[in-house]
Chain A
């Protein structure tokens, strides 16, 4: 228990709308150990980002309704007074967002925006914060950081802006860094650089990482634990080796099959998961994945499968896996 940095229990997030409450995330539960990387994988709209925003308490309530427990070093973040939560944000838990182009304030210099966290949390003077910010900018590989300190965001490229975001997040050496698709908006070469940078920084600073992505390549490269989400629920959770070698949920299998490989036959079509994620208001009453599942059974349509934990922490939300495979239904 002591090595658990973050413990998320029964986290649910609903959004008020004119047509009633829409549940974006249902009963999430996972843990992050010190220095560990946990990847949350899933399609767009499956609740990955909402989960991370809920942990940081960055969702406006209302319309959002967050319930459950988010224990960070034993303290429930969801019950903390806002003042105390602010002391944790950007200080012990930091976050990097998907959109480097819009996530920096256009009217302040990059250096100022990095310094802010240092001045707010560590009581540094402006001059000290400037020095430390330049050091951080150098660490994340921004060339000529003394010059870039006074640059405005629009004067930098997307990759450089994301590096500014990263140095901002690392400013107070957080114990946990949440990355919400940090490279989605960047091109592939920059993506690789940023991922390499994150891995390197994580090793050097010993922080834990929650990495949200839909890219299985990044998962293989970065993760120790993997959580697969579908339509607001965890469908499978395991260490990274198990996910790749022994995926139990048909959705995870589908995700893995749809990765193009260097040695695959280029004349054959890349397998895809047929269909689309169910809409907010027409969620299937049984298994949420049933309409797209190749191994869907009668029972899946009427009954929602529970998340069942097998040996060594591997958990899966599928009748096939939890009650023995019945391949005849394929």
Chain B
């Protein structure tokens, strides 16, 4: 346990130069985008060149890029994430109010994918070549190859527009009975979380299947059977524990990807999370917001990596830190 804490501390320490490097690269890439956040005012007859110049001055946009970056960096180190060019609000406030909706959506999708994919993959490995497997496998290919925005639109068309079973978009109903309740939230969550989870359900099922099949062919499984253990014990104790180990890495490393996936899903379903904020800010070139979101994402990648290592060590006695 102490070894693990020391390891975690070391990894977090290593993360600091990494985050610094990431911030430089993202900043440079955002600056390299064609256009500029104030371009849209150029066509606006009521915005005088002097007014535009004043906004530029206020946001430090006429400084050289490296000065702007250093300003941003000193700001973020002292807890000041900057001000949105678009809304003039504090970045930390804008992002802050989007975090909870995004966590609701991604956590639901993550759990949904895990709870469906694992049993599905294990079962189709055990039933390899039988009907269950023969139905599951093509379905996973469907899930992997279906573009999520298209799948989302089709669900909206069927369940919201045609059948009126579910709300088409948003996080809460705007009015009417039960608006704003937990049930209301859950009804709004169903479609976006399925859309976001689809690709993970599919790819984790395939991964669980191939992993589990590999474990079933191992010598120690034969040993367990030779001992006269019940098939249930062989499959769900001896085999499953071993098959879970490599699954951890894949699943944990997909967490940050899940957040990027939320950009499209949140946009399709008008879900007021970080994903739709990112999309919105990207079209408006609102650098401070984009930087904030991307840095949160970078921290998330590092944390899920660390979490993967910790779970890995807990499952596999051969790993010691």
Q: Which residues of A contact B (CB under 8 A)?
A: 56, 58, 82, 86-91, 94-95, 97, 99, 102-109, 113, 116-117, 120-121, 152, 154, 165, 168
Contacts and interface: CB of A to CB of B under 8 A. Distances in A.
5 contacts: A86-B228, A87-B228, A90-B228, A94-B227, A97-B222
Interface string B192-221: 000000000000000000000000001110
A87 B228 CA distance: 6
Given A86-B228, A105-B220, A120-B227, 14 more contacts: A86-B230, A88-B228, A90-B228, A94-B226, A97-B226, A103-B219, A105-B242, A106-B220, A107-B245, A108-B238, A116-B224, A152-B317, A154-B317, A165-B223
A91 B219 contact: no
Interface string B282-314: 000000000000000000000000000000000
B213 to A, nearest CB: 12
B316 A106 contact: yes
Contacts of B224: 105, 116
A94 B225 CA distance: 11
Contacts of A91: 228
A120 B230 contact: yes
A105 B228 contact: no
Nearest to B318: A154
A140 to B, nearest CB: 16
A120 B228 contact: yes
Given A106-B318, A107-B317, A117 B228 contact: yes
A121 B228 contact: yes
Given A97-B219, A97-B222, A106 B228 contact: no
A299 to B, nearest CB: 42
Contacts of A86: 228-230
B318 A116 contact: no
B241 interface: yes
B8 interface: no
A130 B218 CA distance: 26
Nearest to B223: A103
Contact of A58 (B222, B241, B315, B316): B222
A56 B227 CA distance: 10
A99 B219 contact: yes
A121 B227 CA distance: 9
Interface string B225-263: 111111101000010011001000000000000000000
Given A89-B228, A91-B228, A120-B230, A102 B220 contact: yes
B227 A105 contact: no
Contacts of A95: 226
Nearest to A57: B225
Contacts of A103: 219-220, 222-223
A302 to B, nearest CB: 40
A89 B219 contact: no
Nearest to B239: A105
Given A90-B226, A168-B227, A106 B219 contact: no
A107 B242 contact: yes
8 closest residue pairs by CB, A with B = A90-B228, A89-B228, A90-B227, A105-B220, A102-B219, A152-B317, A103-B219, A95-B226
A75 to B, nearest CB: 15
A88 B226 CA distance: 9
- Pick from B224, B233, B238, B245 the residue with the most CB of A within 10 Å: B224
A88 B225 CA distance: 11
Contacts of B233: 116, 120
A133 to B, nearest CB: 13
Contacts of A89: 225-228
A56 B225 CA distance: 9
Contacts of B242: 105-107
Nearest to B230: A86
Contact of B241 (A94, A99, A107): A107
A59 to B, nearest CB: 10
A97 B315 CA distance: 26
B227 A104 contact: no
Nearest to B242: A107
A95 B230 CA distance: 17
B314 to A, nearest CB: 11
A33 B223 CA distance: 25
A106 B226 contact: no
A82 B242 CA distance: 25
B228 A97 contact: no
Contact of B316 (A82, A107, A168): A107
Contacts of A117: 227-229
A113 B224 CA distance: 8
A97 B223 contact: yes
A102 B218 contact: yes
A241 to B, nearest CB: 32
Contacts of A105: 220, 223-224, 238, 242
B222 A116 contact: no
B229 to A, nearest CB: 6
A94 B219 CA distance: 15
